[in-house]
């Protein structure tokens, strides 16, 4: 890992510019931070490495995980409370910071209103289907494991994915256009094509500036009140993936995002002594559904055993598949449940059709008797509306006993998964960057994909858990940096 030098303010020969708050990166976390810092009375300078703002946020589907009784949840008659949302998120996160989760849940309805007030468009529709990204322009949809065992034991399942008003994918650009416009209107200063490559600390231990480079020219920028790091994740950096995520499959997986999601933010954070968290966390997907009927099939590994409830959120399923021998998995269907996975990108391959389970077992090179036993057990329990092994919801239980059968290869060895990193710098509920002793580093805040926030792995992820906390804690970072009171 390359850790850049940390400059000493006393040795800075010249400050080329000064702002109250310096924000590094102009994706969703940086834009929200900049707006709130500006509204807190600060002169704000955003430094962006690309030719314009947007980042990976602009490529995103525009799903924000929000709840606790948002205007949309109310409009469609869904009852949700911050307590239920908190209980669900606490149950889904490995080592949650309860105060950080609590604050996000309590303020979630207000945060939705805030996003809408910035011009981020949201409708009032509810998409009831099981999909990765709702194909309609409906806002609300179930995008996580709320209805999946054991999560429904902790909190009443409620949909919390709020998608920007746009048919299907691509709403992230609309959200970013609105936020960037607000920044322009309100006098946030932005420099582009400029990469921050070092932070500056004063004698009191406060982060008080940044060094950046643009067209070969080096400039040092002073931050009177605070620095907000919002420069994205590290999935595009192959070496860092090997270093931090050594168990992540080395085949069949591609990062998504922009080339600048290369760990530059992580490097800057480490240079200032930041602690990291959940560094091996990823969310990968090559979803089997839609069509939803495929959830009625079963997933088996190359031992012919089931290993995950098939109604899980696709990121949860992907992480379980990554834990199977050879990263291999098969989706088993009968003639009633058969269909082709819709996603062309996932490239799941139909192995073949088979007249009997025994023939399929042999055709897939599974140990003799393994698949026959797995299916006999599954079918007997499914006929009773039960899944004692993995607790798949009864809505998706149907005996697979109508020949012919079919199998798709859905493992990493024969599909294409797309992933994001979830690990990063550790922050608290004030969006302050924490050091190795858990103490806030004065003047230093962070938000978005460069921090390890609420979701820490694919098993507990829900779509929207990057943009939701990223935008919310971006606001917190901006507000606190503008106060400059740590």
Ligand X SMILES: Cc1cc2nc3c(=O)[nH]c(=O)nc-3n(C[C@H](O)[C@H](O)[C@H](O)COP(=O)(O)OP(=O)(O)OC[C@H]3O[C@@H](n4cnc5c(N)ncnc54)[C@H](O)[C@@H]3O)c2cc1C
Nearer to ligand X, 24 or 407 (CB): 24
Residue ranges in 44-200 assigned as alpha helix (H): 55-59, 71-75, 82-92, 98-106, 108-117, 171-185
Contacts of 115 (CB under 8 A, 6+ apart): 64, 122, 175, 471
Q: How far is the CB of 375 from ligand X (least distance, A)?
A: 36
Nearer to ligand X, 18 or 413 (CB): 18
At its nearest, how many Å lie between ligand X and the CB of residue 446? 9
DSSP string, 419-468: EEE--EE-B-TT-EEEBTTSPEEEEEEE-GGGB--S--STTT--TTTTHH
Question: Whole-angstrom Cα distance, residue 269 to residue 198?
Answer: 10
For β-strands 330-333 and 405-409, DSSP reports them as: antiparallel
Q: Is the peptide bond before 150 cis (omega within 30 degrees of 0)?
A: yes
Q: Which is nearer to ligand X, 240 or 354 (CB)?
A: 240
Residue bearing tokens 């020949």: 403
Closest CB to ligand X among residues 20, 267: 267
Least distance (Å) between residue 354 CB and ligand X: 36
We find the least distance from the C-beta atom of residue 218 to ligand X, in angstroms, to be 13
CB of 116 to ligand X, least distance (A): 16
| Residues of this chain that bind ligand X (CB under 6 A) | 24-30, 47-50, 55-57, 59-63, 172, 195-196, 230-232, 256-258, 260-261, 264-265, 420, 448-450, 463-467, 470
- Find the shortest distance in angstroms from Cβ 47 to ligand X: 5
Structure tokens at 251: 């085949």
Closest by Cα among 202, 158, 235 to 424 = 235
Q: Beta strands of 9-153 (E only): which ranges?
A: 17-24, 44-47, 63-65, 140-141
Contact 35, 182 (CB under 8 A): yes
Beta carbon nearer to ligand X, 28 or 477: 28
Q: Which of residues 354 and 417 has its CB atom nearest to ligand X in the complex?
A: 417
Rg (CA), the chain: 24
Which of 22, 483, 52, 482 lies closest to 221 in space, CA to CA?
A: 22
Q: Is residue 413 left, alpha or beta, with left meaning phi > 0 and alpha meaning psi from -120 to 50? A: alpha
Cβ nearer to ligand X, comparing 25 with 252: 25
In whole angstroms, the minimum distance from the beta carbon of 431 to ligand X comes to: 12
Give the N- to C-terminal CA distance of the chain in Å, as an integer. 30
Instruction: Tell me how far, at minimum, the Cβ of 269 lies from ligand X, in Å.
Output: 11
List, in order, residues 6 or more apart from 456 with CB less than 8 Å away.
Answer: 93, 94, 95, 96, 277, 278, 281, 422, 423
Report d(CA 208, CA 185) in Å as an integer: 26
Looking up tokens 């089931």 gives: 306
Smallest separation (angstroms) from ligand X to the CB of 119? 18
Task: Find the shortest distance in angstroms from Cβ 418 to ligand X.
Answer: 8
If the CB atoms of residues 27 and 411 are measured against ligand X, the closer one turns out to be: 27
Residue 297 or 458 with smaller CB distance to ligand X: 458
Q: How far are the Cα atoms of 28, 195, 262, 266, 297 from residue 237, in angstroms, in the given order?
A: 21, 16, 5, 11, 36
Distance in Å, CB of 60 to ligand X, minimum: 3
The residue (of 57 and 414) whose beta carbon lies closer to ligand X is 57
Nearer to ligand X, 32 or 407 (CB): 32
Burial of 466 (0-12, 13-18, 19+ CB in 10 A): buried
Please answer whether residues 281 and 246 qualify as being in contact, where contact means their C-beta atoms are separated by less than 8 angstroms.
Answer: no
Smallest separation, CB 462 to ligand X (Å): 9
Asked, as a colleague might, if the bond just before 176 is cis with ω within 30 of 0, I would say no
């Amino acid at each position: 890992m390359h850790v850049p030098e940390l400059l000493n303010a006393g040795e800075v020969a010249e400050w080329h510019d000064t702002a109250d708050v310096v924000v590094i990166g102009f994706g969703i976390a940086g834009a929200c931070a900049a707006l709130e810092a500006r509204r807190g009375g600060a002169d704000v300078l955003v430094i962006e490495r690309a030719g314009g703002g947007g980042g990976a946020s602009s490529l995103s589907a525009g799903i924000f995980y929000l709840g606790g009784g948002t205007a949309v949840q109310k409009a469609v008659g869904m009852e949700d409370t911050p307590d239920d949302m908190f209980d669900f998120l606490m149950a889904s996160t490995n080592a949650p910071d309860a105060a950080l989760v609590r604050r996000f849940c309590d303020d979630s309805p207000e945060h939705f209103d805030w996003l809408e007030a910035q011009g981020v468009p949201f409708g009032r529709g509810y998409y009831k289907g099981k999909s990765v990204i709702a194909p309609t322009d409906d806002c609300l949809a179930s995008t996580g494991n709320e209805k999946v065992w054991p999560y429904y034991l902790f909190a009443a399942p409620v949909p919390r994915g709020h998608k920007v008003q746009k048919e299907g994918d691509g709403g992230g650009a609309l959200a970013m256009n609105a936020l960037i416009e607000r920044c322009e209107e309100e006098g946030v200063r932005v420099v582009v094509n400029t990469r921050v490559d070092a932070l500056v600390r004063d004698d009191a231990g406060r982060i008080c500036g940044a060094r950046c480079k643009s067209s070969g020219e080096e400039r040092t920028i002073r931050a009177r009140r605070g620095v907000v790091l919002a420069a994205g994740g590290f999935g595009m950096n192959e070496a860092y993936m090997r270093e931090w995520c050594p168990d992540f499959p080395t085949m069949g997986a591609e990062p998504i995002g922009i080339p600048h999601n290369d760990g530059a933010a992580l490097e800057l954070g480490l240079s200032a002594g930041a602690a990291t968290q959940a560094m091996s966390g990823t969310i990968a997907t090559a979803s089997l559904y839609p069509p939803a009927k495929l959830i009625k099939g079963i997933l088996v590994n190359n031992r012919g055993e089931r290993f995950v409830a098939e109604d899980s959120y696709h990121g949860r399923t992907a992480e379980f598949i990554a834990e199977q021998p050879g990263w291999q998995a098969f989706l088993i269907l009968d003639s009633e449940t058969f269909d082709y996975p819709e996603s062309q990108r996932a490239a799941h391959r139909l192995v073949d059709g088979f007249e009997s389970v025994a023939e399929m077992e042999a055709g897939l090179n599974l140990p003799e008797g393994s698949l026959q036993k797995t299916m006999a057990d599954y079918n007997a329990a499914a006929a009773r509306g039960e899944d004692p092994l993995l607790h798949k919801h009864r809505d998706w239980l149907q005996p697979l006993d109508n020949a012919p059968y079919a199998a798709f290869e859905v493992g990493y060895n024969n599909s294409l998964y797309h992933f994001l990193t979830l690990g990063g710098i550790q922050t608290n509920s004030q969006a302050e960057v924490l050091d190795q002793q858990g103490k806030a580093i004065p003047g230093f805040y962070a938000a978005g994909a460069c921090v390890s926030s609420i979701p820490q792995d694919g098993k507990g992820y829900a779509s929207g858990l990057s943009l939701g906390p990223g935008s919310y804690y971006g606001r917190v970072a901006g507000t606190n940096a503008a106060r400059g009171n740590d």
